[in-house]
Amino acid sequence: MKRIEIQQITHLPAEVFTLEKEAVAEGFRFLTRLISEWESGTNRFNAPGECLMAAYSNQQVIGIGGLSVEPYTQPDTARLRRVYVAPAARNQHVGQALVKALVAQATLHFQTVRLSTDTSGGDAFYLRCGFTRTEDVHATHIIELANA
């Protein structure tokens, strides 16, 4: 297995455009939204407790994901968003490492993390990452943080 590094980032790496093309080819538009919101300044993952992280292998970005303040609930809740791993890097625990790092960051500022996914693969993935399903119009999965 390749060595994977997860790093917090403060700018969009050039490789995010390659990831976006792969995501769009799979029918996902959330990286397009990430880029658009970043470029417009709408969301730069820079509010207190927020962050954007990238997964690297051989100094190449192979995954990305962010943590932001949840807009639909209490201020002690974060939202996991825009998590994507390149198809060639899947089944190598990249996504799990990325989500684990984002949740670890969340424990410093939040008590709960929520997210939304609309695929069965996403559902299974987030359950493997320790999330549970929730019945909410704005979220499909939730995790309560012990260290908050």
Residue 75: predicted pLDDT? 83
Is residue 55 within 8 A of residue 2, CB to CB? The reply is: no
Q: How far is 85 from 41, CA to CA, in rounded Å?
A: 24
Query: What tens digit of pLDDT does each residue of 13-71 get?
Result: 999 999 999 999 999 999 999 999 999 999 999 999 999 999 999 999 999 999 999 98
User: What is the pTM for the complete model shown?
Assistant: 0.94
Q: How far is 146 from 148, CA to CA, in rounded Å?
A: 6
List the structure tokens of 89. Answer: 């890097």
Q: How far is 133 from 142, CA to CA, in rounded Å?
A: 6
Q: How far is 56 from 94, CA to CA, in rounded Å?
A: 9
The Cα-based distances of 29 to 26, 90, 118 in angstroms read 9, 19, 12
Can you give the CATH number for the domain in which 28 is found? 3.40.630.30
Q: How many structural domains does the chain have?
A: 1
Q: Which of residues 59 and 2 earns the better pLDDT score? A: 59
Residue 54 burial class via C-beta count within 10 angstroms: exposed 0-12, middle 13-18, buried 19 and up: buried
Query: What tens digit of pLDDT does each residue of 90-117 get?
Result: 999 999 999 999 999 999 999 999 999 9
List the Cα angle 112/114/115 in 5-degree steps. 160
Domain of residue 46: give its range.
5-144
Residue 74: predicted pLDDT? 80
What are the start-end ranges of the H helices in the chain? 16-25, 30-40, 94-106, 120-128
